[in-house]
Amino acid sequence: MLRIFLVVPFILLMVMVSSSLAQKGQIAGVVLDSVSREPLVGTNILLVGTRIGTTTNRNGEFRLNELDPAMYVMRVSFVGYARTERTVIVSLQDSVRVQILLSPEHIESEVVVVTGTRTLRSIDDVPVRVEAIPEEEIEEKLLMTPSSVAMLLNESTGMRVQTTSAAASTANLRIQGLSGRYTQILTDGIPSLGGLSAGLSLTQLVPLDLRQVEVLKGATSSLYGADAIAGVVNFLPKLPGEIPETSLLLNGTTQKGFDAAGYYSERFGEMGLSILASYNRQARYDVDGDGFADVAQFERTTVTPRLLHQVSDKLTVRTGLGLMHENRIGGAMDERRIPGAVSRPYTERIATNRVDASSHIDWSPSEDRSLLVKLAWLRSERDASFGITPFHATQDVFFGDAQFSLDLPAHDLLFGSTFRVDNFNDRTPGIPVLRSYRSSVASIFFQDEFPLLPSLTFVVSGRLDFHDPLGTFFVPRLSVMYRPLPALTLRLGAGTGYKAPTIFVEEAEEIGFRNVRPLLDARAEKARSASFDLNWRRIMGSFTIDWNSALFFTNLDDALLADEDSLQTDVLYLRNATGPIRSIGSEFSARLTYEDFKVSLGYTYVYATQGDKAQTSEIELNPRHSFGVVVVWENHEEQLKMGLENYWTGRQRVPRNPFRSTTPSSWITGLIAEKGFGNFRVFVNLENIFDTRQTKYEPIFVGDLAAGNIRTLPVYAPLEGRVINAGIRFVMRPRD
């Protein structure tokens, strides 16, 4: 009897529990990227007003069990995507299945064409470390400097835009401590900026039509050939969509700058059209009142039309044309000759004309096979005078690239061939023809991406270059990705690279190419690099953390350097160093998001040395430490956005400066605000609020400016100081 007395209540309890559970409902489903339809791992699912929630698994799937019958509001959020809410009604014993598509807001989670692998992959699934600057961040920098992409790159972790001429305000991009000439600059996958245009290209590229910027750091010549020793930067323009897009911008600055730009794109059935037009003007501006223009004068016009033809579902053809003309003047504010003087005050004048034509042919006969062909022609003309010394040159580049992709069950294969002809013609009067050169490179390359385990993927690639006149080069690369957890990714990569020697070095730009002697018996520069990085993501309700850390090392042999003694006399001899360049360092970046707030943190440590003639010295104009923090608050309903930026640059060695050998550290602070009124947006930006500039410490030149006999000093800090700009935008596009 006692047993029955104990068992019967237990049975009754189990029946009641089973009956209760039988009346419960559940919600199950999958969360996908709205563009690529790829599953989003780690998406946060929350039933509003309750404590019930979960995250998606590696297949993007989720399940919420034991739900009482009711109407629920399901909030779905994932970093880099627009948050959405879905109303779901759960009935007795009901199982509701839903599919949720999230629209990308940040490129970190979109499917992008990755420069490191030449394949279409989600950036989270690429074994090669690739950083992507999303369209949202491009737009933020657009409001600060609508005339160029220089600030966009300068404020990215591990990269630094280095001013190469104090008078003309030319600049190039340094990655991980290496000179700008070691970075391959691409536009839509085509090498279009470099050589003769290297010192001006970053200051002349208008960002209004960019949809994203991809950055691959380290030696990557295996797929992109010479010049890709420090890394690759690929500027990707927008493509015409089904819905028309229009963007107009007017901007003015307190230093007499003016920008007017417009972009339009639309599809007309099988045809698509986009056009970018921009006019940028800046007056010479003397910040410190010494008669020397700290901000160079320029007037530039850019027109870039592009056509898209969807021949069929399997064949697409894109063609583009770029036209750019700029006149730039720097140096003395007043060019008038002093009465009785023999010479005029020192000025630099640079007239630049660029024409480039390109075509992309994309044919995909099946889902597992595709052929992409790229053809391009570029002409750059520069007619300049540096004081009384002229420099006139023309450079023509012809480029062709074909790659065939084949996706097999266990391997993603890629084969290709490239051909490039570079013809540089020095037209400067009285200069020996030896400074002119012509080179051609024919290449074949391959790549194999394959998983050894579900969590372990390898990418093996190599390239064979037949370079006339330097010879044959083979450059391999290996990358490994290990993902022990859905939120944790580790990557290890190593590769080689090389660069053909030319006169286009920073020291030549600094002195305006005057008295730059022809290269004699210069050898190709060769590099080896390796990197390790860790990516971790954590989602806790409305709070998200994205963390990235990396270690890198580069060894560069036969670096082309300027003879220091010759620089003192403005006569530049270039030769190969007898010792290596070694760059070692680390990068740390984090993005924190909480509802309407986003905080970005970045820190870079670089220690780069140059060995030569049995001596080793730290590379100049290379801060060991740099740090940045950006806080952004955005209210979509009110169309209001505000941002605060702080960037700190540590001390650097400075060359050829009679006032110091080591620079002071410096802070740069900026504040930006934007308010929308429908399709119109008004913005104001306060850049360098506390007026950090080099001329607070010493002059930017030595010599007699009025007599035209000066030597400008290397630039290690901003020259323009505090700048306020404001303007208005009109934006009408699909997301609006």
Provide the token pair at 322: 């770029």
Q: Is the pLDDT of residue 30 over 50?
A: yes
Secondary structure class of 276 (helix, strand, coil): strand
Residue (of 371, 414, 398) closest to 222 by Cα position: 414
Q: Any idea how long the chain is? A: 736
Half-sphere exposure of 593 (CA within 13 A, CB side): 20
Compute the average pLDDT of residues 458-477: 93
Q: Are residues 248 and 366 in the same domain?
A: yes
Distance between CA 330 and CA 701 in Å, rounded?
13
Distance between CA 40 and CA 32 in Å, rounded?
6
Q: Are residues 421 and 465 in the same domain?
A: yes
The string of pLDDT tens digits covering residues 628-661 is 999 999 887 888 999 999 999 999 999 889 999 9
283: CB partners within 8 A, 6+ apart: 255, 256, 257, 295, 297
**2 part of a folded domain:** no
Domain that holds residue 679: 125-146+225-732
Q: Work out the percent of the chain whose per-residue pLDDT is above 70.
A: 90
For residue 341, name the pLDDT band (cuts at 50, 70, 90): low
Question: How far is CA 589 from each of CA 198, 400, 458, rounded to the nearest angstrom?
Answer: 28, 37, 25
Q: Is the pLDDT of residue 8 over 90?
A: no
**84 part of a folded domain:** yes
Query: Rounded to an integer, what is the distance from CA 243 to the centroid of its chain?
Result: 27
Higher per-residue confidence, 338 vs 227:
227
Q: Are residues 499 and 519 in the same domain?
A: yes
pLDDT score at 647: 96
**543 part of a folded domain:** yes
679: CB partners within 8 A, 6+ apart: 730, 731, 732, 736
| Residue 35's CATH number | 2.60.40.1120
pLDDT score at 569: 65
**260 part of a folded domain:** yes
Other Cβ atoms closer than 10 A to 66 = 10
pLDDT score at 9: 41
Residue (of 275, 271, 347) closest to 304 by Cα position: 275
**139 part of a folded domain:** yes
Q: Are residues 212 and 334 in the same domain?
A: no
| Residue 649's CATH number | 2.40.170.20
Q: Is the pLDDT of residue 309 over 80?
A: yes
Q: Are residues 118 and 129 in the same domain?
A: no
Give the end of a domain, one of 224, 245, 264.
Answer: 224
Q: Ranked by mean pLDDT, which of 124-133, 253-262, 378-387, 724-733 comes out on top?
A: 253-262
Give the end of a domain, one of 224, 250, 276.
Answer: 224
The string of pLDDT tens digits covering residues 379-395 is 999 999 988 888 899 99
The string of pLDDT tens digits covering residues 131-168 is 888 888 888 888 899 998 888 888 888 899 988 889 98
pLDDT score at 108: 36
Q: Is the pLDDT of residue 121 over 70?
A: no
Q: Are residues 210 and 160 in the same domain?
A: yes
Q: Are residues 198 and 292 in the same domain?
A: no
Compute the average pLDDT of residues 218-238: 85
Secondary structure class of 120 (helix, strand, coil): strand
pLDDT score at 580: 96
* Burial 325-353, CB ≥16 within 10 A → b, else e: ebebbbbbbeeeeeeeeeebbbbbbbebe
What are 250's strand-pairing partners?
A: 260, 728
The string of pLDDT tens digits covering residues 70-94 is 888 888 988 767 788 888 888 776 7
Compute the average pLDDT of residues 446-459: 92
Q: Is the pLDDT of residue 1 over 80?
A: no
Q: Is the pLDDT of residue 672 over 60?
A: yes
pLDDT score at 573: 82
Compute the average pLDDT of residues 104-127: 53
The number of distinct structural domains making up the chain is 3
pLDDT score at 110: 38
Compute the average pLDDT of residues 567-572: 68
339: CB partners within 8 A, 6+ apart: none
Q: Is the pLDDT of residue 17 over 50?
A: no
Compute the average pLDDT of residues 219-227: 80
pLDDT score at 565: 64
For residue 125, name the pLDDT band (cuts at 50, 70, 90): low
pLDDT score at 668: 96
130: CB partners within 8 A, 6+ apart: 112, 114, 115, 116, 123, 214, 215, 216
pLDDT score at 223: 78
Q: Is the pLDDT of residue 531 over 90?
A: yes
Question: How far is CA 344 from each of CA 68, 320, 331, 336, 709, rounded to the nearest angstrom?
Answer: 87, 43, 11, 7, 9
Q: Are residues 293 and 327 in the same domain?
A: yes
pLDDT score at 193: 66
Q: Is the pLDDT of residue 492 over 90?
A: yes
Q: Are residues 562 and 605 in the same domain?
A: yes
Residue (of 127, 232, 118, 115) closest to 459 by Cα position: 127
For residue 607, name the pLDDT band (cuts at 50, 70, 90): very high
The string of pLDDT tens digits covering residues 272-299 is 999 999 999 999 999 999 999 999 999 9
Q: Work out the percent of the chain whose per-residue pLDDT is above 90.
A: 49
pLDDT score at 36: 59
Distance between CA 640 and CA 596 in Å, rounded?
11
Q: Are residues 217 and 260 in the same domain?
A: no
The string of pLDDT tens digits covering residues 678-709 is 889 999 999 999 999 999 999 999 998 888 88
Please state, rounded to an integer, the average pLDDT across all residues of the chain: 86
pLDDT score at 433: 65
**4 part of a folded domain:** no
pLDDT score at 331: 93
Distance between CA 321 and CA 733 in Å, rounded?
23
**8 part of a folded domain:** no
**279 part of a folded domain:** yes
Give the end of a domain, one of 224, 251, 280.
Answer: 224
Q: Are 585 and 177 contacting, i.e. CB atoms less than 8 angstroms apart?
A: yes
For residue 105, name the pLDDT band (cuts at 50, 70, 90): low
Residues 706, 708, 711, 712, CA torsion sign: positive
Which amino acid is residue 655, in one-letter code? P
Q: Are residues 39 and 152 in the same domain?
A: no
Higher per-residue confidence, 503 vs 23:
503
Q: Are residues 697 and 661 in the same domain?
A: yes
The string of pLDDT tens digits covering residues 411-452 is 989 999 999 999 999 898 877 667 888 999 999 999 999 999
Q: Are 184 and 233 contacting, i.e. CB atoms less than 8 angstroms apart?
A: yes
